[in-house]
Amino acid sequence: MRGRGLDLMTGLRGNWGVKSVTGPRGGFDLQGHRGARGLWPENSLIGFAAAMALGVASIELDVVLTADGVPVVHHDLALNPDITRGPGGQWIASPGPLLAALCAGDLAAYDVGRIAPRTRYAAICRGQTPVDGTRIPSLAAVLELVRGSGVKLDIEIKVDRRWPDWAPQLSGVVEAVFAVLDAAQSAGAASVRSFDWRVLRRIRRLRPEVPLSWLTGFGADARAAAVAEAVMLDGWPAWQPVWAPDHRLLRRRHVFAAREMGLLVKPWTVNAAFRMRQLLRWGVDGFCTDRPDLARIVLSE
């Protein structure tokens, strides 16, 4: 990383491996979405370092498997043309290549430190600071970054169930993720989330001690009762399960119902201060946000 990117990394380096100055209050799980997507390039080491410096309790990130079986941190199954430039600095064409077709070494050729102008992404993340030279990190590199900080990782495992070889793909990514966690002796500092509950069921069987979050969006399963039922398929765990709903669908009665069923409630992705305050009044246990800086202000109130 060169120029301004190097200066920014140097400025943040003092906070690497250090928990927040004051920390989130009352055990509330302030979670940085893809690091701090509203401020820095998503799913990047500099974004994760910034989120840590802002005092998040956990970092939400996405993991995809490369062609050579390396878990890397990227939101999409393919390179996203809205944030990806090739070796010559040009924006890649849509659709981008699947990460499953690229080796981990191939990813070093791509820069994901800037948003393409006049895209929907640019409108969503207008305040993001570009950092040219940002690369897609491996999960192992992120674990090294957060080591000893007390900040937990909430790993969303990405699989494409439309592929005909969905089952071996699922097996491969789950086993690869835990191989990296075990090698770093970090399994106890991580939880896993997924919209595809079959991913979570597989982890329940393989690693029953790992805490899980059931993600929901629009659809028939977007209820606390559906989550509780899914949890019970493999028996109630020793840890407290998390329901992570789209905050736009969440109402006060849903929070109460989830609590009655023994679920923690941590909605995504909450970026407006008024909505953060409302969710705090409702008693949610945490939330995922692109703006941990704003969330810290709200929590301090």
| φ, ψ at 60 (rounded to 5°) | -90, 130
Tens-digit pLDDT profile for residues 107-164: 999 999 999 999 999 999 999 999 999 999 999 999 999 999 999 999 999 877 665 5
Query: What are 270's two structure tokens?
Result: 């909450």
Mean pLDDT of 91-115: 95
Confidence of residue 283 (pLDDT cuts 50, 70, 90): very high
Among 200, 187, 199, 184, smallest CA distance to 242 is for: 200
Q: Taking 50 as the threshold, does the pLDDT of residue 18 lie above it?
A: no
Domain count, the chain: 1
Whether this prediction's pTM lies above 0.85 is answered by: yes
Range of the domain at 149: 4-300
- The count of other CB atoms within 10 Å of the CB of residue 173 is 21
Least confident of 106-120, 165-179, 275-289: 165-179
What is the predicted pLDDT for the residue at 158?
Answer: 84
Mean pLDDT of 268-296: 98
Q: What is the DSSP letter of 127?
A: T
CATH number of the domain to which 211 belongs? 3.20.20.190
Q: How many angstroms separate the CA atoms of 6 and 85, rounded?
A: 19
Higher pLDDT, 222 or 166: 222
User: To 10 degrees, the CA torsion angle through 129, 132, 138, 140?
Assistant: -70
What is the average pLDDT score of the chain? 89
- The count of other CB atoms within 10 Å of the CB of residue 80 is 20
Tens-digit pLDDT profile for residues 27-51: 899 999 999 999 999 999 999 999 9
- The count of other CB atoms within 10 Å of the CB of residue 238 is 8
Least confident of 178-187, 190-199, 214-223: 214-223
Query: What are 276's two structure tokens?
Result: 């953060």
Q: How many angstroms separate the CA atoms of 1 and 134, rounded?
A: 6
